[in-house]
A and B are shown apart, each in its own frame.
Chain A
Amino acid sequence: MGLSKNSKRKCAVGGYKKKHSMIGMAFSIPIVIFLLVFVLYPVVYNIWLSFTNASLMKGTSEFVGIDNYVRIFSNKLFKKYFWNTCVWTFWSVLGQLLLGLGLALLISRPMRGGTALRSFLLIPYVVPAVALALVTKWIMNSDYGIVSYWLQQAGLLDGRQSLLALQGPAMWVVILLNIWRSYPFPMLIYWAALKGIDREIMEAAAVDGASKWKIFRYITLPELKNTTIVLAVLRVIWTATYYDLIYMVTGGGPAGSTTHLPILIYQSSFGSFQIGYASAISMILGALMFICIIFYVAKSDIADS
C-alpha cells in the first residue's frame, strides 16, 4: 500500500527520493547493529544450545536433536510450572488493568487535590522490586512479620504460619505484589484515553436519561478497547518473562507452587547446570511471547506508514 503511493511520488521528485530514504535508513543503523550483536547473537546461540546437551558443569556439549524438547513435554513438573506461569500472568495482567482502569476513573473526576492524588498513585511504579520483595519477606515472616501478625490475630492464619509458606496464598502474594508494582502504567494510559473521549457524547447521553453505568458500558468501554488490547499485550509479555520479583520473594517455593518458566529456566541453568535444556524452555517461552507480538501487530497500526 504505502509503497505504491510512494512510487508515484517518486516519479515527481526523482532521484532525490531514493537518496532521501537511504539517509532515513541510516538513522536506523545504530539499532540494527545493536540488535544484531546483543539480541540476535544471543538468540541464535540459544537456539543452538537448545539442541545440545550442553552442561554448565563439565563444559561438554553434544548435538542431541529435539531431545530437550521431548524431555520438557514428558516432564510432569513442567506442566505444573507452565500452569503456574499462566496463572501468574493472567491474574497479574487482569488485576493491573482493572485496578488501573478503576483508579483512572477515580483520578479523572474533577476534584480538589486530584493532581496530588495522581502523583501519589504513581509512586509504586518507581519502587525497586528488590526493596518491595525484601519488605514483603519481612512483613510476612511467620514470627515477627506485621502482616502475618494481623492475619493471625484476625484468625485468618494459623499461629506461626506465613502466607509465603502456603502453596496457594504464596502465589496470590506474588501476584498482588506484581499488581501493586504495575498498575500505575495502565492507570496513566487509561487516564489519558479517558480524557480523549468526547465529553459531548456523554453529556448528550446523560440528557437522554442514560444511567452512569450505561454510559460507561456503551460509550466509555468501547472507546478503551484498543488501548486495552495494546496494554494487555505489552503487560502479558513483560509479566510472563519477569523474573526478579518471584525470585526474591519466594524463590519459586513453597514446593514449586510459584515456580514459573523464568524461574525454571534459571534453576535448570544454574541449579542443574543443564543449559541446553534450559535454552529449550526459554525458546518455548520466547516463541509464545512472539505469538503475542504478531497478534499485536495484526491488531494495531504500528507497522503502517
Chain B
Amino acid sequence: MKNARTKRYISNILIILLIIACVFMVGFPIVWMALSSFKPGVELFTIPPKIFPQNWSLEWYEQALTNENVIHYFLNSLFIASTVMIIDMVIGSMTAYSLTRFSFRGRKLILMCVLAAYCVPPIMLMLPMYRIMNMIQLSGSHAGVIIGHLTVTLPFSVWLMVSFFKKLPSGIDEAAVMDGANEWQVFIKVDLPLCVPGVLSTGIMAFIMSWNEFLLSSVLVNKENMKTLTVGIANYISSTHIDWGIIMSLGTMTTLPVIVLFALVQKYFVEGMTAGAVKG
C-alpha cells in the first residue's frame, strides 16, 4: 500500500505543478501589462527589463483619465456592448422559440441561413456595411456600430439558444396551451423562464464579443467621442512614437472591467453553458 501512497503523493505534486504552470500562463500577460502601466517613462525601456516598477507612477493613468476622449471610449464601449447584449438576448430567444417549438415551411431554411451567416468572414462585411450605414444615415453613429456587432454576434447567439430551447420538453407548451395561454404567453411565461441560464450566458458572450470587437468598430466610426475602447487604444500607435505607457494603462483599464464583470456573472455563464449548449 505504501507504493500506492507514494504514487498518489507524486501525482498530487504533479497536479500542483500543473496548476502553477496554468496560473503563470494565464496571469503573466495580464500582470505584466498592469505592472508596466505603473512604470514611469524612463523605466519602460530599461535593458534588461525589470519586472517590478522601481518608482511606482500613476502618470499614464493621469494622462489617460484627464483625456476626455478616454472617458468617451469607455462609455461608448459600455453602451454598445450592453445594447448588443440585450438585442441578442431578445432576438435570439424569439428566433430560437420560433425555430424549435413550431413547425412551419421555411423553418429549416431560416436555420440554415443563420448558420450560413456565421460563416461570413467579418472582413467581407466591412465595405458593404459601410455603404449600408451611409445609405441609412447611420454612418458614424452608435447605431451603426451596434448593427455591425449584431451581424457578428447574432448568428452565434441564435445557434446557442436553439440548442437551449431544444432541451425543453415539448409537452410543457401544449399543457400551457390547454390552459388557454396564447403563443406569446407561452414564450414569456413558460419557455423563457426555463431557459434563463441559457439566455443569460448567450447575453454574456455577446457582451464580451462586442466589447472586444475591433475590425468593424474601426471602420464604422471616425469621431473621437464615438470610438470604442479597442479602437481608441489602437490609435495610440502613431507614426512618431508608440506610447507604451498609455497603451498599457488603457489595456489594463479595458481588461479589468470585463474580468470583474465576468467574475460576477460567471455563475450564470457556467450554468448556462453546462446546461448542454453545444453537444451536437
Chain A interface (Cβ < 8 Å from any Cβ of B): 2-3, 6, 20-28, 30-32, 34-35, 37-43, 45-46, 103, 106, 109, 111, 117-132, 134-136, 138-139, 143-146, 149, 153, 180, 188-189, 191-193, 195-196, 226-227, 229-231, 234, 237, 240-241, 243-244, 247-248, 261-262, 265-266, 269, 275, 279, 282, 285-286, 289-290, 292-293, 296-297, 299-303, 305
A38–B132 CB distance below 8 A = yes
Q: Are A42 and B129 in contact (CB under 8 A)?
A: yes
Q: Contact at B278–A189, with CB atoms within 8 Å?
A: yes
A244 to B214, CA, bound (A): 7
- Check B276 for interface membership: any CB of A closer than 8 A: yes
CB contact list, B245-280 vs A, under 8 A: 247-248, 251-252, 254-255, 258-259, 261-263, 266, 270, 273-280
A interface, over-half SS: helix
Structural contact, A125 and B208, CB atoms closer than 8 A? yes
Closest to B158 in A: A31
A-B contacts besides A42-B129, A138-B244, 12 pairs, CB < 8 Å = A30-B95, A31-B95, A42-B120, A117-B22, A128-B254, A144-B49, A189-B277, A193-B279, A265-B121, A269-B126, A286-B119, A302-B115
**Bound state CA distance, A193 and B94, in angstroms?**
27
Shortest Cβ distance from residue A194 to the other chain B in the assembled complex, whole angstroms = 10
Q: Is there contact, CB below 8 Å, between A293 and B251?
A: no
Contact A302–B123 (Cβ < 8 Å): no
B26: A residues at CB distance < 8 A: 120-121, 123-124, 180
Q: A27-B98, A135-B248 are in contact. Are A237 and B258 (CB under 8 A)?
A: no
Q: How far is the CA of A95 from the CA of B129 in the complex (A)?
A: 33
A234 neighbours in B (Cβ, 8 Å): 278
CA gap between A103 and B18 in the complex, in Å? 10
Can you list, as one digit per residue, whether each of B36-79 has a CB less than 8 Å from chain A (1) or not (0)? Answer: 10000000111111010000000000000000000000000000
Neighbouring B residues of A111 by C-beta, 8 Å = 15
Q: Which of A23, A195, A266, A301 contacts B183 (CB 8 A)?
A: A23
A285–B22 touching, CB < 8 Å? no
Contact of B115 among A122, A240, A262, A297 (CB under 8 A): A297
Once the chains bind, are A286 and B121 in contact (CB under 8 Å)? yes
Chain A residue numbers with a CB within 8 Å of B252 are 131
How far apart are the CA atoms of A28 and B111 in the complex, in Å?
A: 10
Report if B168 contacts A (CB, 8 A). Answer: no
Known interface pairs A241-B121, A290-B119; A31-B251 also in contact (CB < 8 Å): no
A128 and B47 contact, CB distance less than 8 A: no
Q: What residues of chain A lie closer than 8 Å to B4, measured between beta carbons? A: none
Q: Does B215 contact A (CB under 8 A)?
A: yes
Taking CB atoms, residues of chain A closer than 8 Å to B15 are 106, 109, 111
Given the complex, which residues of B lie within 8 Å of A269, measured CB to CB?
126-127
- Which one of A38, A103, A126, A134 lies within 8 Å of B150 (CB-CB)? A38
Q: Once the chains bind, are A25 and B274 in contact (CB under 8 Å)?
A: no
Kindly list chain A residues whose C-beta atoms are within 8 Å of the C-beta of B1.
none
Q: Is the CB of B22 within 8 A of A121?
A: yes
Complex: A191 Cα to B208 Cα, angstroms: 21
Minimum C-beta distance from A96 to chain B (A): 13
Nearest A residue (CB) for B19: A117
B123 touches A266 (CB 8 A): yes
Measured CB to CB, the closest approach of chain A to B265, in angstroms, equals 11
Is B141 part of the binding interface, using a Cβ–Cβ cutoff of 8 Å? no
B106 CB-CB contact with A under 8 Å: yes
Q: How far is the CB of B280 from chain A (nearest CB, A)?
A: 3
A128 vs B108: C-alpha distance in the bound complex, in angstroms?
35
25 pairs from A and B in contact (CB 8 Å cutoff): A21-B103, A27-B97, A34-B154, A39-B155, A123-B262, A127-B29, A134-B247, A134-B251, A136-B29, A138-B247, A149-B48, A180-B29, A188-B270, A189-B277, A192-B276, A227-B279, A230-B278, A237-B118, A241-B120, A243-B122, A243-B123, A265-B121, A286-B124, A290-B116, A302-B111
B85 at the A/B interface (Cβ < 8 Å)? no
Contact with A along B120-143 (1 / 0, CB 8 A): 111111111101100000000000
Interface positions of B from 158 to 173, Cβ below 8 Å from A: 158-159, 162-163, 166
User: Which of B108, B159, B214, B252 has the largest count of A CB atoms less than 10 A from its CB?
Assistant: B214
Provide the B163-198 mask, 1 if CB < 8 A to any CB of A, else 0.
100100000000000000011000100000000000
Q: Whole-angstrom distance between the alpha carbons of A286 and B128 in the complex?
A: 15
Interface residue? B13 (CB, 8 A): no
- Measured between C-beta atoms, what is the minimum distance from B91 to chain A in Å? 5
Q: How far is the CB of A18 from chain B (nearest CB, A)?
A: 9
Compute how far the CA of A148 lies from the CA of B270 in the bound complex, rounded to whole angstroms.
37
Which chain A positions have C-beta within 8 A of B10? Answer: none
- A301 CB contacts on chain B under 8 angstroms: 280
**Docked pose: A264 CA to B199 CA in angstroms:** 36
CA distance A266 to B214 in the complex (A): 14
A126 to B270 Cα, complex, angstroms: 14
Residues of B within 8 Å of A118, CB to CB, are 270
Task: Point out the residues of chain A lying under 8 angstroms from B155, CB to CB.
Answer: 39
Contact between chains at A27 and B187 (CB < 8 Å): yes
B30 at the interface (CB under 8 A from A): yes
